[in-house]
Chains A and B, each alone.
Chain A
Amino acid sequence: MEKMAGMDGSMSGMQHATSHGFVGEALGFTGRLSAELLIVLTSAPVLRMLVALVLLLALAALLRPYLASRMSRS
């Protein structure tokens, strides 16, 4: 847990990494965050979970007309 608290500290410390004024800091932070977002969203665990979710939703979409016809009949 201490390691996690340390990671949190390192995140807030990122704001002081650049010293080119507010715009520079904001751009630096946005750039780093965008890169990290891209890394996480294209990582194996996230992509595998998304594939599983898409398959599940495809199954629901296939079942939907069948369920609708049964509901309108009853």
Chain B
Amino acid sequence: MRYAFVKRPNILSVVAHWASAWAMILALYLGLSAVYGYGPRHATFVAHAYAGLTVLGLVVVRLFLRTLLPWPKDESGGPGILKFVAEATHWTLYALMLLTPLTGWIVVSEMECCVAVPGLPNIDLLGSDLPIGGSVSAMTAYHVHVFFVWTLLALISLHVMAALFHHFIIRDTILVRMIPVLGRRSAPISYAIKTSHSAQSNALPSNKPGTEER
């Protein structure tokens, strides 16, 4: 496999990607355990809520970094329809990573009588000066939360399978740029911009880090 100068996203985005992946797996496991499992349900539910809030915080950080810093263009080949599906899947994943914890937070806020998460403010009180939107019941928010969870699970599976397909079948650098250990020859896109500015050319010297070929 040849990795001729892999442009990867900045390291903060890569770390946030993997942190949110693990937080999501944890939240899914704890959520399913809280509803269907045996044992200390309330403690499991509180842990599920904190894992979900971590996902919410991380996706906000990821979107902020993605807007703030340069993002490498998709240089993999393949039909346009597949690229469109990949792009749509990514943005749907971002939306679900935002909306799933948010709907869970609404459920907890509307069920203050029965479910309490220490340190979690009531979502209705946040920004209550802004007179937009209607009210929503815990039941409605819970139904939508469950629908989002299963959709998220399906899209994560598709995302993982697509990454493995790119790595092992198409043999491109899509997975390598998100796993820096795999592609020691990769460099952040900011490095690529700097190098191209200084060299005034697309050709990069072979003795610089990130330019060797495997």
Contact = CB atoms under 8 A, between A and B. Distances in A.
B68 A63 contact: yes
Contact of A45 (B63, B105, B142): B105
For this complex, into which size category does the number of interface residues on chain B fall? 35 or more
B42 A43 contact: no
For this complex, into which size category does the number of interface residues on chain A fall? 35 or more
Interface string A35-74: 0110111111111110111001100110110011001101
B68 to A, nearest CB: 4
Contacts of A36: 140, 143-144
- Mostly, the A contact residues are helix
Interface of A: 1, 3-5, 7-8, 10-11, 33, 36-37, 39-49, 51-53, 56-57, 60-61, 63-64, 67-68, 71-72, 74
17 contacts: A3-B111, A3-B115, A7-B142, A7-B143, A11-B146, A37-B147, A40-B106, A40-B141, A43-B136, A45-B105, A45-B106, A45-B133, A46-B133, A48-B127, A49-B126, A72-B194, A74-B194
